[in-house]
Amino acid sequence: MTFTADNLKDIREICKQADEANNNAIWTLDYCNGREDDILHELELKDLTYHQQAKLAKELTDIRRKRRDAKNQIALLEPFLDWKANYRKAINDLSGVIGKMRAAADRQKNMVYHSRIDPSVVIEHYDGE
């Protein structure tokens, strides 16, 4: 297997996806907390029929499940995000490393070799085999 700049790019992408997943989970958790409060206030303060109460109870069950899923997601991501925060500078430095690796790969693609014995012999590209 050849190690390329794309391997490092994948690491950066994973970090970005973890941040996005965590932000989405936090938003979902906040939404569910708010909606749960709204439902409980409706049940407490409004004069609802049995069917209206049942409908709200069903929605409350769904909201609680979504809330639990969001909390689980946040808990799963927390160790990775803590690690990422400790190595933020190194992860940010990957951009520069990736650029240097790509530049080196481009130089290797454009290499031209001249024979030392017979200067008229030129090898345009060496593919490593």
pLDDT 10s digits, 91-113: 888 888 888 988 888 887 777 77
Mean confidence (pLDDT) of the chain: 89
Q: Look at residues 64, 63, 84 and name the one whose alpha carbon lies nearest to residue 21.
A: 84
**Single pTM value for the model:** 0.73
Task: DSSP for 8-19, please give it.
Answer: HHHHHHHHHHHH
- Residues 46-90 pLDDT 10s: 999 999 999 999 999 999 999 999 999 999 999 999 999 999 898
Residue 14 pLDDT grade (very low, low, confident, very high; cuts 50, 70, 90): very high
Q: What is the pLDDT of residue 43?
A: 95
Q: Look at residues 18, 24, 128 and name the one whose alpha carbon lies nearest to residue 76.
A: 18
Question: Cα–Cα distance between 82 and 79 in angstroms, integer?
Answer: 5
Q: What is the pLDDT of residue 107?
A: 82
Q: Quick check: 117 and 110 in contact, CB under 8 A?
A: no
